[in-house]
Amino acid sequence: MAETTYLDAIRRALFEEMERDANVFVMGQDVAQFGGAFRVTKGLYERFGRLRVVNTPLCESGALGAALGAALVGKRPIVEMQFADFVSCGFNQIVNNIARTYYRWEQPVPFVLRLPFGGGAGAGPFHSQSPEAWFAHVPGLAVVAPSTPADALGMMKSAIRDDNPVVYLEHRFLYRREKESLGEGEQLTPLGKARVAREGRSITILSWSWTLHESLAAAEEVAREGISVEVIDLRTLVPLDEETVMASVKKCSKVLIVHEATATAGYGAELAARIADQAFEWLDGPVKRVTYADRSSPYNKHMEKALLPGREAIVAALRKLARY
């Protein structure tokens, strides 16, 4: 069976949902004939036409406002940002309008915001950020970050069918590197449910997206030293699957949180606070974090690699935590 890349899994989800529901449509800069900045929407224009695959001007706030209007009249828009960093230009539409509409007058807003994010390509400070914490803070938004092709497919389909706005974070480094045999037929991954990616006994790692794979590699490395690590793929950050997280924390008693966003006020801080509140009595050590440094991303790839929370940094943190 041929393997499907992470990128192709997202494209498959878009095709299948647009075939299933005529109200689903795609908007964004160069998403039509060009196929999007990373070619995720390639082929959609030829299949569904210009009324369902819509190029937008270089005005993120305008595209997001138009998507909100479409959702309010029964459509199910999917908006692509070329890079997640650019979403800041439409921040007001997301946090003050899209996220708040249901609270204001109980009007559903079925809306998916696709954010290609993350570093690793030496793309510099305006194309490498991890903005999940910006949106995790806002009531009314679901925030998801799949790490595998299967979840990229299943979570996109679930996000499109959800009647609430979903921020869908897709890591650019995974697009063509992660591959998986997916098979045919309907495949849905429920939102709000974490996955135990690797079972262990001594230390819990909480992670998502690209750093999930770095965490798994680190766990394999320290296993040869007798350190048993359980790795939890959060998949959905908001709403958080606290049941799975706390069960692992209580079993292992030590916790390492790994994410690519910068440390200060990153989502890992929220995880650490909830663990301290709900599982303090089970802890045998401090809740530790491995994150990006509190600085902008450099263009130099070697400098960027030194700042990214990769396998070496995770291994070092696991060894230190195991000795605690």
- Enzyme catalytic residues: 127
323, exposed or middle or buried, with CB in 10 Å at 0-12, 13-18, 19+? exposed
The CA–CA distances, whole Å, from 27 to 58, 112, 253, 300, 313 equal: 12, 10, 45, 33, 39
Please, which residues have CB within 8 angstroms of residue 105's CB and are 6 or more apart in sequence?
none
Strands 4-5 and 179-180: antiparallel
Is the Cβ–Cβ distance between 34 and 6 less than 8 Å?
no
Lookup result for tokens 């389909």: 157
DSSP 98: I
In angstroms, rounded to a whole number, what is the distance separating the alpha carbons of residues 267 and 261? 8
Beta strands in 240-287 (DSSP E): 255-262
Partners of 255 in the beta sheet? 204
Nearest to 164 by CA among 87, 255, 238, 244: 238
